[in-house]
Amino acid sequence: MQDAVNKTWSGRFNEPVSELVKRYTASVTFDNRMAEVDIQGSLAHATMLNKVGVLSGDDLAAIQRGMAEILDEIRNGTFEWSVDLEDVHMNIERRLTDKIGDAGKRLHTGRSRNDQVATDIRLYLRGAIDAIVGLVRELQRSLVDLADAHASTVLPGFTHLQVAQPVTFGHHMLAYVEMLGRDADRFTDARKRVNLLPLGSAALAGTTYPIDRVYTAELLGFDGVTQNSLDSVSDRDFAIEFTSAAALTMTHLSRLSEELILWMSPRFGFIDIADRFCTGSSIMPQKKNPDVPELVRGKTGRVNGSLIGLLTLMKSQPLAYNKDNQEDKEPLFDTVDTLSDTLRIYADMMRGITVKPEAMKDAVKQGFATATDLADYLVKKGLPFRDAHEAVALAVRYAEEKKRDLSELAIVELKTFSPLIGDDVAEVLTAEGSLAARNHVGGTAPVQVRAQVARWRALLA
């Protein structure tokens, strides 16, 4: 039976695996992206086996030579992947054995596919996290550049999607820089729990060979080793934690996407997005659609779905390893790909944003954005805040009826709402005066925005 010959566990079975089951259980079509880290882990394992006297020097040399040839085949696209061999690990091991004979068969001494795959995923994810943190930083730089260029550009700040108070466009961009800073911190923190070596746990109980797990960890650049063999082979917390951080990052970008979409609409007209990030309509020749931000909103649901899928995958699994865990890779890989592509395109897209300051400033006037400033002005004159709030509310109602902004009302008109109002109120009622007055850490005053830009440039240097 050729199928039995191909299976490492053939001695236990008396009939071949059906073609349908073979296709259903195979993972090589998607886990072959871990080929290079699988080779990396195997070489470290073989080096450790040689160090402790389990593997001869000749066998180690043969394994190193064979793996180098296999790595070349994989990189140049000539390696032949076989569904019959189920996964990336068995494909590489079989090719190695074909090349170097019995030395290839000795490579698996003291390990199981259970701890092997757990090691591969951690090696793969460690590299992915490093790349993603770099992409987050690049997007932050794009946003900091925008914030620097528009540290004084007036923008209506919204609550409940209603004009609330003036802010600057730079201050608004820096809000997302802060969010992304927390995202990078979460990935960096999650990496600490990714970077522990499970290899040596074997199937679930450890191994009888005199292995040196700490040495293997040092060879692979891990910070340490996992401490319980049962947990080591069945743990996917690190994958869930990464996907959770990715979902939160995508949520932040989805929020920014929603704002870009609204701001690009003629109803707002605050910005324009470069043509290379937009598409037109098959029927309406005038259309310019913000497809990239819209897709980011949609792909956020995709990453959220991966998180829920991984949580559901693990929720009922008894210790230790179960075949269910094969389903951890596709949502994890898809999350890495989706987030990486999103960050990469977003960093470029934000450099292609055209800001329209006049439209923003006109919008500030439409919502009585300096009403709170007028109330604060009255409080500083000695009026209790609740009384000031009431006086300004009446003034807003009056201005609305007159179809004028508060700054367009005459002093004599404003005095009808409080005799405390004097000629010095004019500066308070301008958007620029409102911004300048909020001169404290975290405030929207242009001087504070520039200070935050300098702070972030130093952090991102």
Active-site residue, from 18, 56, 82, 281: 281
Q: What Cα–Cα distance (Å) separates residue 17 from each residue in 81, 178, 403?
A: 18, 54, 79
Q: What is residue 180's three-state secondary structure? A: helix
What are the boundaries of each domain within the chain? 2-109, 114-361, 367-460
> Where residue 17 falls among pLDDT bands split at 50, 70, 90?
confident
* Least confident residue range of 8-17, 95-104, 112-121: 8-17
State yes or no: is 160 an active-site residue.
yes
Class of domain 367-460 as given by CATH = mainly alpha
> Where residue 15 falls among pLDDT bands split at 50, 70, 90?
confident
Among candidate residues 241, 129, 258, 252, the one with its CA nearest the CA of residue 179 = 252
Active-site residue, from 160, 282, 316, 440: 160
Q: What is the mean pLDDT of the chain?
A: 95
pLDDT at 10: 62
State yes or no: is 281 an active-site residue.
yes
Class of domain 114-361 as given by CATH = mainly alpha
pLDDT at 12: 73
The residue assigned the tokens 């999607």 is 161
Specify the CATH number of the domain 2-109. Answer: 1.10.275.10
Give the integer Cα–Cα distance in Å for 383 and 389. Answer: 10
Instruction: Give the number of other Cβ atoms within 10 Å of residue 346's Cβ.
Output: 26
> Mean pLDDT, to the nearest integer, of 337-352?
98
Is 9 a residue whose pLDDT tops 70?
Answer: no
> Where residue 1 falls among pLDDT bands split at 50, 70, 90?
very low
Q: What Cα–Cα distance (Å) separates residue 363 from each residue in 267, 357, 366?
A: 10, 10, 5
Is 2 a residue whose pLDDT tops 90?
Answer: no
pLDDT at 285: 87
pLDDT at 8: 61
Query: Are 396 and 309 in contact, with CB atoms under 8 Å apart?
Result: no
pLDDT in tens, 408-444: 999 999 999 999 999 999 999 999 999 999 999 999 9
**Fold matches, 2-109 and 114-361:** no
> Where residue 339 falls among pLDDT bands split at 50, 70, 90?
very high
pLDDT in tens, 367-402: 899 999 999 999 999 999 999 999 999 999 999 999
pLDDT in tens, 157-196: 999 999 999 999 999 999 999 999 999 999 999 999 999 9
* Least confident residue range of 100-104, 151-155, 176-180, 423-427: 423-427
> Where residue 88 falls among pLDDT bands split at 50, 70, 90?
very high
Contacts 24+ apart (CB under 8 A), 422-429: 425/374, 425/377, 428/370, 428/373, 428/374, 428/376, 428/377, 429/370, 429/373, 429/374, 429/405
Write out the E strands in 172-320. 196-197, 224-225, 271-273
pLDDT at 153: 98
Residue 11, Cβ density class (10 Å: 0-12 exposed, 13-18 middle, ≥19 buried): exposed
pLDDT in tens, 119-132: 999 999 999 999 99
Is 79 a residue whose pLDDT tops 90?
Answer: yes
pLDDT at 7: 54
Residues 6+ positions from 55 with CB-CB distance below 8 Å: 46, 49, 63, 106, 109
pLDDT at 281: 87
